[in-house]
Structure 1
Amino acid sequence: MNLRRKSLMTGALGALVAALALGSGVLLAGAIAGSGNTIVTVRVWDDKVADAYKASFAAFHESNPDITVDVTVIPWTQYWTQLDDDVAAGRADDIFWVNNSYLTDLADDGKLMDIDETLGARAKNDWDSSVVREFTRDGILWGVPQLSDAGIALYYNKAMLAKAGIDPATLETATWSLDPAQDTLLPILKALTHDSSGRSASDPAFDASAVTQFGYNAANDLQGIILPSIGSNGGTFDADGVYTFGEERAAQAIGYQVDLINTHRVAPSATASNADPDFSRDRFVEGGMALFQSGLYNLPYVFEGAEFEWGVASMPAGPAGRVSVTNGIVAAGNAETAHPEATARVLKWLGSTEGNSYVGSSGAAVPGVVAAQQAYFDFWGGKDVDVAKFFEVLADDAPTITPPETANFAKVEAAYRPFMNEVFAGTLPVADGLRQAQDAANAATAAK
């Protein structure tokens, strides 16, 4: 079973699809001229949602036989670079996914359709209000809400907890702290980390060079680890257009995660997770990790891949409490599409209860259309999977930490990530490495 989160395409197949995407303008022109049928292309990075989309667009085509919708999946690791190049060259798909970290440039540069103008200002009344707020800039909504990631929680392996004598209820009170006397998370992680002789990381004879079971997925994972950790220490990743993740509270939070890897050895070496963003998820699914902190975006892969009993607990709290990140995804219309009327009809379908319900009824993600969301809960309820913890962390106006929203984020991330990778790998001291990473991020922002 292929457990890749972002796409099933790798290697030559990924290159082929990218090449086809590059040539889409020529291919579409031929298709339209030859058949009288308009082909609208949609670009995403998630293969599970792509499958749901294909079923949705088949239903759309039945009532709109003059329009065929083609879905292209570009792997997450290539998605933003490819999109940036294609938008600049005028060859991007008619509709493409956007998250809020990449919204600013596309909206400010006039590359996206104004959804209020395209579908009417009342259309947004049917959509998840938090996602609408995320993607409204200067009073204009720049995409049709498709997914809501809810919050971050903790997947756990039931057998591993039982073997270590840990009641899952203990996870609900787990708190990380720089004060060892207040840190109740680390002892849990040590008890759940074992070497090849079965010794836990709390045993003086523990062999850190022969770990067979890790306790946790500390890693350079912005959404699953870094942002929640920073938020739970009262810090910020960026504020008012300036990157701040090298400042004291953020640096403390990141330093704690780095120590889990390189000092306490309860998480895998960053060499693997830096190179493969899905490494920790796959390690958990394969039975080599006890706790996996992540979001609903990984739920279908855990459900399909794990051959053991698992559950979901609240993410660990920090000195400032339990502070999660939450995200939405929108389908954005290409302002330079060659067929705006057909594109608008597809966007309207994606923003309808029927069109978006396929995403929920397949269990792929929480739909962005409010009336379609119940299908998601029904799907997972039918599988005896309780997703409540992903929502409880956001309930009652709980504090959240926002993802980065500055302009030029693709270049910003490319600038700071090498330094951040070295920090997590232990080859750069935390304070110095984060300061270098922060300086690189702010320089890239200023270079816009």
Structure 2
Amino acid sequence: MKKKALASLCVAAVAALALAGCGTGGQGTASGEKVTIKYTNFISNGGNEKNLDTIVQAFEKENPNITVQVTTLPYNAYGTTLQTDLAAGTQADTFDVEYANLKSYVANGTIAPLDGVDASKYRQSLLKSYQSDGKQYALPTSFSDVVLYYNKALFDAAHLSYPNANWTWADETAAAQKLTNPATGVFGDFQNISFYEFYKAIAQAGGKFLSDDGKSAAFNSPAGIKAANWLANKSGTTMPTPAQGAGTPDFDTKLFKDGKLAMLHTGIWVASSLADSPKDWDIAVEPGDTQKDSAMFSNAVAVSAASKNKDAAQKWAAYLSSSQVMAQTRISAGWELPPTSDESVLKPYLNQGKPANRQAVFDALNNVVLPPSIGENQQKMTDIITNALGEIAAKRSNAADALKAAADQVNALLK
């Protein structure tokens, strides 16, 4: 899913959920009794409803005593609907969750810990992102990550080597400066100056966004200052300013399609929209400063703690997240990527043409940094950081002062 869809859902009403009656209840399937489980999702909205139905039908064929009742909602309505259902105790047996909300769900007892998960079926970095205190609370259903796109024709014209796995920030900066040409309107680089790039850049610089106990901000550090300057200093030098269009929806991808951008930091979801424009392009794992770290985004499915059919619900969750039918359906439909550990299933994706280096999508998972999660104040924290970075980019504040002020605001949210 797109990065903008990774904004945290509002779960303030979760605390009001009455957990009385959250016992296991009758499981039904062991004795052959038929049960119906409800699944509320946003992952199939917008064109993949039939693909989800393919998975449901295959599951029901293998499990004739279990019927899956699906409710599909648009993402922008999902948070409000789930919040209302949680407060009323009427949520579905299984429902979609995102990493940023996991802590709130666990803390409020909304979702049930899962037993007997076959961990070998999943990519470990994805599976572990939905664990808390050593317990598995959700199963990843798909993933996407951020890579570095580059226009090979522009590199060739400048007689520069293409980005590779050994590149650092210094290499990217040097190339971007040589590739930027104001006379032809070509920019060397584009990376959003936002929270979602900043937390990753801190990790690439060897720092941390939050303290180890998660109770205080740690981004106002030398690594944080370096990360903020890495992003902000691109504006007006190797990438356009907001006045030149940066910040306008899809401006960066349009610039890349028009052959006016040499490098672009964005997610794998963009690849399908590029087709043959520009004519010759590829991707690489993003450069780091002191180390490699890539942003990974995923969706997952959880079992409600209030479900009366937890065994059947977990069986469905496991099928939705790890079955061969699910993986093959996703690959053939281009519906994000399955979290499978089975490389043979992924081979068709690797051989689908542009970008040629599709392996970079999986190589990026070797070093993953997840977005810091603080619960119901997630969006406020995101806005604080993005605003601070904007002040630095506009040169209205230096990085040290802006991050100190932002840290004070984030610490107030953490109290």
TM-score norm. by structure 2 comes to: 0.76
8 Å CA contact 2:199–2:372 kept in 1: the answer is no
1:132-151 paired onto structure 2 within 5 Å: 132-149=127-144
Separation in 1, partners of 2:397, 2:179: 28
Report the CA distance between 1:375 and its aligned residue.
2.8
Q: Aligned pair 1:231/2:224, yes or no?
A: no
Q: Structure 2: which amino acid aligns with 1:227? A: Y
Structure 2 residue aligned with 1:158: 152
- For 1:422, the equivalent position in structure 2 comes to 391
C-alpha distance in structure 2 between counterparts of 1:251 and 1:45, whole Å: 39
Could you tell me which residue of structure 2 aligns to residue 290 of structure 1?
262
Q: Structure 2 matches for 1:37-436, cutoff 5 A?
A: 40-44=39-43, 47=46, 52-60=51-59, 66-75=67-76, 83-84=82-83, 87-88=86-87, 90=89, 94-116=93-115, 121-149=116-144, 152-168=146-162, 174-176=167-169, 183-195=170-182, 197-198=183-184, 212-223=185-196, 225-240=197-212, 241=214, 242-262=216-236, 264-269=237-242, 274=247, 276=249, 278-302=250-274, 304=275, 306-318=277-289, 320-336=290-306, 343-357=313-327, 358-371=329-342, 374-383=344-353, 385-393=356-364, 395=366, 400-408=368-376, 409-436=378-405
What amino acid sits opposite 2:350 in the alignment?
W
Distance 1:387 1:293 in 2: 15
Query: CA offset at residue 255 of structure 1?
Result: 1.0
Structure number with the bigger relative contact order (C-alpha 8 A, sep ≥ 6) is 2
Unaligned runs of 5+ in 1: 8-35, 177-182, 199-211
| Deviation sequence 1:47-74 (CA, Å, 0-9, x none) | 5766643442354455658434233231
Q: Name the aligned partner's letter for residue 208 of structure 2.
A: T
Equivalenced residue count is 379
Structure 2, unmatched stretches of 5+, are 6-34
Distance 1:323 1:340, change over 3 A: closer
157-166 vs 253-262, which moves further: 157-166
Out of 427, 438, 441, which is 2:410 matched to? 441
User: Residue type of the partner of 1:379?
Assistant: Y
Q: Which has the higher helix share?
A: 1
Q: Against the structure 1 CA distance between its residues 265 and 167, is the aligned structure 2 distance closer, same or farther, given a 3 Å change threshold?
A: closer
- What's the CA shift for 1:156? 0.9
Cα 1:379/1:274, change in 2 over 3 Å: same
- The one-letter amino acid paired with 1:391 is F
Distance 1:275 1:57, change over 3 A: farther
**Corresponding letter in the other structure for 1:435:** K
Task: State the alpha-carbon separation in 2 of the partners of residues 413 and 86 from structure 1.
Answer: 26
Alpha-carbon shift at residue 328 of structure 1 (Å): 4.3
Instruction: Rate the CA distance shift 1:394–1:352 in 2: closer, same or farther, 3 A.
Output: closer
Residues 322 and 339, structure 2, Cα contact 8 Å, conserved in 1? no
Q: Sequence identity of aligned pairs in percent?
A: 20
For 2:391 and 2:83, how far apart are their aligned partners in 1? 26
Q: Contact 1:40–1:342 at 8 Å: present in 2 too? A: no
Distance 1:323 1:292 in 2: 16
The structural deviation recorded for 1:305 is 7.5
Shift of 1:415: 4.5
Q: C-alpha deviations, 1:390-440, integer Å up to 9, x for none?
A: 333555xx6x54431434334432454433443344444322222222222
Say whether the 8 Å CA contact 1:103–1:135 is kept in structure 2.
yes
Q: Do 1:50 and 1:73's aligned partners in 2 also have CA atoms closer than 8 Å?
A: no
- SS of 1:316 mapped into structure 2: coil
CA contact (8 A) 1:270 1:424 kept: no
Q: Is the 8 A contact 2:44 2:72 kept in 1?
A: no
Deviations 1:353-399 (A, max 9, x none): 2343122333333312323x53333223132532222333555xx6x
Residues 130/173 of structure 1: CA separation in 2 closer, same or farther (3 Å cut): closer
Secondary structure of the residue aligned to 2:72 is strand
Distance 1:154 1:48 in 2: 27
One-letter identity of the residue aligned with 2:141: Q
Alignment match, 1:24: none
Q: Is the 8 A contact 2:205 2:291 kept in 1?
A: yes
RMSD: 3.6
